[in-house]
């Protein structure tokens, strides 16, 4: 009779119906595995939701005493069902039945939680899994999942729990730190990986090079480059590693070395990513003409631009004041390459127009966009208002933003202050306080003796703080003798010039330069390289021009927007930024 029922679909339908007959229930009670067969057959027919309903019907009637096989089938049905099933109920049932130590069930439930993006619940299962299985597979999956959400703290928690870590574990953790904008931690993890005897691979190198690029850690990047040369024979034919190297050297201020690597790449295995990295590197250094020349050379090597290429080209035009060229390439991407502009392209084009003072054209372009402009588009317009002292346009741009960052409020306040509209400037700070918006910390960092030293504005936490401020005062005194005049218009309060100057005197990039001079002496520095998380202000820009002349050395500052190379009292941006 059991075999006959198993072969009869109508019998399945009768058993899964809420009005299951008494006779059928007796059959189920007599043959407990029969319920599992019903659920399994329904899943195999492609009806996982019906399988879950069949279980609920049989279980609520009291006819089913589920075992580990039943739970395994339910987990399978839940994982492929298009309808969300309460995974927590399944978890509770597993605990109620005392099956939480069943390794196959724990791992299946873990994967189900991951598939539903219930990461915290998956984390709670990890200890039970590791008691039964030390395979790092499950930990690696969870680290990657948390990394995608930029939750590096939870990634660290998983990493620490893991009894065994393999190469994927270390690579995943380094990636999590990079994605969460913690490049110093990524470099520290890489060092620990090497000490643990884990051999880095191509993925390790490309990820840690990205960390070096973000931190401006040139010495670290050069060491990794040398190790790549030893470990990865013929890495020049690997487009990912070459792109990462070009990106690292460009963002660490050595665009000349980036160009050298680009020129030495094996053209047989050439990739668009290599060209994009080079064009972007030239763009952030303000080398617009070189970026356009590189672009024009692409067809000679049978390389065709993609949407990333045009973002780099438009950025290069923007930073170099090449507005006509920006218009040409913006139209060319649609006309000649059939690439529809995305938000990034419109943002770069708006930035190019606004930087050149063509605010009306920039505004018209925004209004004509076939896609809704995001906050980044309006932020490009807002940034130009600082340079042009157009507080009225800044107000409008700020009002259009759906999501404002703390830097947007600060910028608007600075624009008001430059126009001496003190009440409006103070009003911005009041709004920030009411909305719970905290000003982001201005941070600068330098690499010294293989270590990255970080400073914030007004920082007194360094053990050599007194000496750093003494050197800073001396540099400022000598800079004034060279003609430096503090730019106090952007300060947000209507106070005396002396108080404004005091506020400006301890900006983070100035402290970083003073630290380098303190450590090496004015005569022992060939080039000072500083990285900053925000856009440098007009006052610091003028201070750097004077100090580089005083020291007779090159000072390179990488801010949020681009590179500034100060030499002989001039800046590579030609004051166009």
User: Is pLDDT above 60 for 193?
Assistant: yes
Query: Residue 14 — pLDDT band, cuts 50, 70, 90?
Result: very low
Q: Pseudo-torsion of CA 10, 16, 18, 23, nearest 10°?
A: 70
| Each residue's pLDDT tens digit, 527-575 | 899 999 888 888 999 999 999 999 999 999 999 889 999 999 999 988 8
Among 11-25, 46-60, 490-504, which range has the highest average pLDDT? 46-60
For residue 170, how many C-alpha atoms fall within 13 Å in the half-sphere facing its CB? 24
Domain formed by 341-440, architecture: Alpha Horseshoe (1.25)
Signed CA dihedral, 23, 29, 34, 39: sign only: positive
Range scoring the smallest mean pLDDT among 173-187, 370-384, 391-405, 436-450: 436-450
Give the residue, 419 or 510, on which the prediction is more confident: 510
Q: How far apart are CA 163 and CA 420, in angstroms?
A: 61
Q: What is the pLDDT of residue 403?
A: 83
Adjacent-strand bridge partners of 570:
567
User: Is pLDDT above 90 for 338?
Assistant: yes
| Each residue's pLDDT tens digit, 67-88 | 677 777 777 767 666 555 566 6
Tell me the pLDDT of the chain averaged across its residues. 84
User: Is pLDDT above 70 for 7?
Assistant: no
Query: Residue 417 — pLDDT band, cuts 50, 70, 90?
Result: confident
Q: What is the pLDDT of residue 537?
A: 87
Quickly list H helices, 269-342. 272-284, 288-297, 307-320, 323-335
Q: What is the pLDDT of residue 3?
A: 34
What pTM value is reported for the model? 0.80
Query: Residue 60 — pLDDT band, cuts 50, 70, 90?
Result: low
Query: Residue 11 — pLDDT band, cuts 50, 70, 90?
Result: very low
Instruction: Provide mean pLDDT across the span 11-39.
Output: 52
| Cα-based angle 209, 213, 219 (whole degrees, multiple of 5) | 75
Single out the residue of 95, 96, 120, 90 nearest to residue 108, CA to CA.
90
Among 6-10, 18-22, 144-148, which range has the highest average pLDDT? 144-148
Range scoring the smallest mean pLDDT among 8-17, 43-52, 143-152, 254-263: 8-17
Among 74-83, 254-263, 423-432, 484-493, which range has the highest average pLDDT? 254-263
Residues 6+ apart with CB under 8 A from 114: 122, 141, 142, 145
Residues 6+ apart with CB under 8 A from 202: 232, 235, 238, 240, 241
Query: Residue 524 — pLDDT band, cuts 50, 70, 90?
Result: low
Q: How far apart are CA 212 and CA 250, in angstroms?
A: 11
Give the residue, 159 or 439, on which the prediction is more confident: 159
Instruction: Provide mean pLDDT across the span 196-223.
Output: 92
Q: Domain coordinates of the chain in residue numbers?
A: 2-85, 341-440, 443-571
Q: What is the pLDDT of residue 66?
A: 72
User: Is pLDDT above 90 for 367?
Assistant: yes
Adjacent-strand bridge partners of 454:
445
**Percent over 70 (pLDDT), the chain:** 80
Give the residue, 461 or 492, on which the prediction is more confident: 461
Q: What is the pLDDT of residue 18?
A: 44
Instruction: Provide mean pLDDT across the span 325-343.
Output: 96
Token representation of residue 367: 């209004």
Q: What is the pLDDT of residue 16?
A: 45
Q: What is the DSSP letter of 268?
A: G
101 neighbors 72 (Cβ within 8 angstroms): no
User: Is pLDDT above 70 for 419?
Assistant: yes
Q: What is the pLDDT of residue 111?
A: 83
Q: How far apart are CA 100 and CA 106, in angstroms?
A: 6
| Each residue's pLDDT tens digit, 272-300 | 999 999 999 999 999 999 999 999 999 99
Give the residue, 543 or 498, on which the prediction is more confident: 543
């Amino acid at each position: 009779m059991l075999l006959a029922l198993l072969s009869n679909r109508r019998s399945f339908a009768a058993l899964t119906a809420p009005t299951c007959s008494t006779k059928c229930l007796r059959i189920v009670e007599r043959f407990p595995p029969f319920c599992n067969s019903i659920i399994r057959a329904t899943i195999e027919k492609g009806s996982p939701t019906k399988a879950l309903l069949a279980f609920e019907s049989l279980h609520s009637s009291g006819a089913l005493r589920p075992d580990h096989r039943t739970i395994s089938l339910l987990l399978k049905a839940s994982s492929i069902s298009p309808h969300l099933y309460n995974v927590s109920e399944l978890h509770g049932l597993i605990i109620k039945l005392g099956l939480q130590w069943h390794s196959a069930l724990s791992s299946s439930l873990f994967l189900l939680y991951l598939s539903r993006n219930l990461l915290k619940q998956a984390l709670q299962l990890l200890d039970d899994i590791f008691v039964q299985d030390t395979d790092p597979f499950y930990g690696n999956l969870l680290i990657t999942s948390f990394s995608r959400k930029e939750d590096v703290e939870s990634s660290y928690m998983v990493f620490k729990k893991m009894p065994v870590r393999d190469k994927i574990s270390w690579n995943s953790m380094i990636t999590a730190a990079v994605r969460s904008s913690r490049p110093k931690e990524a470099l520290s993890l890489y060092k620990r990986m090497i000490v643990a005897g884990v051999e880095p691979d191509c993925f390790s190198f490309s990820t840690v090079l990205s960390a070096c690029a973000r931190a401006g850690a040139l010495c670290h990047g050069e060491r990794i480059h040398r190790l790549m040369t030893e470990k990865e024979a013929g890495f020049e034919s690997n487009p990912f590693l070459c792109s990462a190297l070009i990106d690292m050297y460009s963002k660490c201020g050595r665009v000349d070395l980036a160009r050298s690597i680009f020129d030495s790449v094996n053209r047989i295995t050439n990739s668009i990513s290599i060209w994009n990295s080079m064009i972007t590197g030239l763009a952030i250094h303000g080398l617009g003409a070189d970026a356009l020349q590189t672009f024009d050379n692409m067809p000679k090597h049978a390389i065709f631009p993609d949407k990333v290429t045009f973002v780099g080209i438009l950025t290069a035009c923007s930073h170099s004041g090449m507005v006509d060229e920006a218009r040409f390439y913006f139209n060319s991407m649609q006309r000649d390459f059939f690439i529809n502009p995305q938000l990034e392209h419109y943002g770069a084009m708006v930035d190019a127009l606004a930087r050149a003072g063509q605010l009306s054209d920039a505004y018209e372009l925004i209004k004509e966009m076939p896609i809704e402009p995001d906050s980044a588009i309006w932020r490009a317009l807002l940034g130009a208002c600082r340079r042009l002292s157009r507080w009225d346009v800044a107000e409008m741009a700020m009002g259009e933003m759906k999501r404002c960052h703390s830097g947007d409020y600060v910028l608007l306040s600075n624009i008001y202050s430059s126009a001496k509209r003190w009440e409006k400037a103070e009003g911005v700070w009041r709004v920030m306080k009411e909305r719970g918006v905290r000003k982001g910390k201005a941070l600068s960092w330098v690499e010294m003796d293989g270590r990255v030293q970080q400073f914030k504005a007004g920082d007194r936490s360094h053990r050599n703080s007194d000496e750093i401020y003494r050197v800073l005062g001396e540099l400022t005194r000598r800079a004034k003798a060279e003609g430096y005049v503090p730019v106090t218009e952007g300060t947000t309060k209507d106070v005396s010039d002396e108080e404004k100057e005091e506020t400006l005197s301890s900006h983070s990039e100035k402290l970083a330069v003073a630290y380098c001079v303190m450590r090496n002496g004015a005569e022992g520095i060939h080039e000072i390289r500083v990285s900053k998380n925000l856009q440098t202000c007009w006052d610091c820009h003028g201070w750097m021009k004077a100090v580089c002349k005083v020291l007779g050395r090159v000072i390179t500052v990488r801010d949020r927007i681009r590179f500034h190379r100060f030499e002989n009292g001039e800046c590579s941006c030609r004051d166009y930024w």
